[in-house]
Amino acid sequence: MAIDGTVNATADREVAGRFEMPTTVDDLHRSGMGDSSLPAIDVKDLRVYYDSEAGIVKAVDGVSFTLEQGERLALVGESGCGKTTLGMALLKLTKAPGYIDGGQILLDGRDLVPFDEESMRLARLAEVALVTQSAMNALNPVMRIEDQIIDGLVDHGIKDTKENLRSHIHDLLRRVGLRESVGRMYPHELSGGMKQRVAIATGTSMNPKVIVADEPTSALDVVVQRQVMMTLSRVQRDTGAAVILIGHDMGLVAQFADRIGVMYAGKLVDIGTVQQIIEEPKHPYTRLLINSVPDLEEKRERLEGIPGIPPPLVDLPPGCVFAPRCPSVEDVCLEISPRDVDTGDDRRVMCHLFDREVEMAGSEVG
Ligand SMILES: Nc1ncnc2c1ncn2[C@@H]1O[C@H](COP(=O)(O)OP(=O)(O)OP(=O)(O)O)[C@@H](O)[C@H]1O
Ligand code: SF4
Ligand SMILES: [Mg+2]
Tell me the pLDDT tens digit for each residue of 23-60. Answer: 888 888 776 555 678 999 999 999 999 999 999 999 99
The protein residue with its alpha carbon nearest to ligand 1, atom 30, reads 80
Cα distance between residue 134 and residue 115, in whole Å:
26
The protein residue with its alpha carbon nearest to ligand 2, atom 1, reads 351
Mean pLDDT of the 97-119 span: 95
**Residue range 260-289, pLDDT digits in tens:** 999 999 999 999 999 999 998 999 999 999
Ligand 2 pocket, 341 CB below 6 A? no
Q: Say what the pLDDT of residue 70 is.
A: 94
Non-local CB neighbours of 145 within 8 Å, separated by 6+ positions: 139, 169, 173, 182, 183, 184, 185, 186, 187, 190, 198
Distance 267 CA to ligand 1 centre (A): 13
Q: Say what the pLDDT of residue 113 is.
A: 96
Residues paired with 100 in a beta bridge: 48
% of the chain exceeding 90 in pLDDT: 64
Cut 0.75: pTM above it: yes
In ligand 1, the atom with minimum distance to the C-alpha of 78 is 25
Using DSSP bridges, classify how beta strands 242-246 and 72-76 pair: parallel, antiparallel or unpaired.
parallel
Is-contact 176 231, C-beta < 8 A? yes
Instruction: Give how far the C-alpha of residue 287 lies from the chain's centroid of Cα atoms, to the nearest Å.
Output: 23
% of the chain exceeding 70 in pLDDT: 89
**What's the CATH superfamily of 41-279?**
P-loop containing nucleotide triphosphate hydrolases (3.40.50.300)
Distance 291 CA to ligand 2 centre (A): 17
- What does pLDDT average to over the chain? 87
In ligand 1, the atom with minimum distance to the C-alpha of 82 is 18
Using DSSP bridges, classify how beta strands 341-342 and 267-273 pair: parallel, antiparallel or unpaired.
unpaired
**Helix ranges, 91-190 (H):** 117-126, 145-155, 162-175
- Could you report how far apart the first and last alpha carbons of the chain are, in Å? 64
Distance 182 CA to ligand 3 centre (A): 30
Mean pLDDT of the 327-349 span: 92
Distance 214 CA to ligand 3 centre (A): 7
Is-contact 183 166, C-beta < 8 A? yes
Query: Which of the listed residues 321, 352, 354, 357 should we mutate to test ligand 2's pocket, taking the one with most ligand atoms within 8 A of CB?
Result: 352
In ligand 1, the atom with minimum distance to the C-alpha of 312 is 29
SS3 category, 292: coil
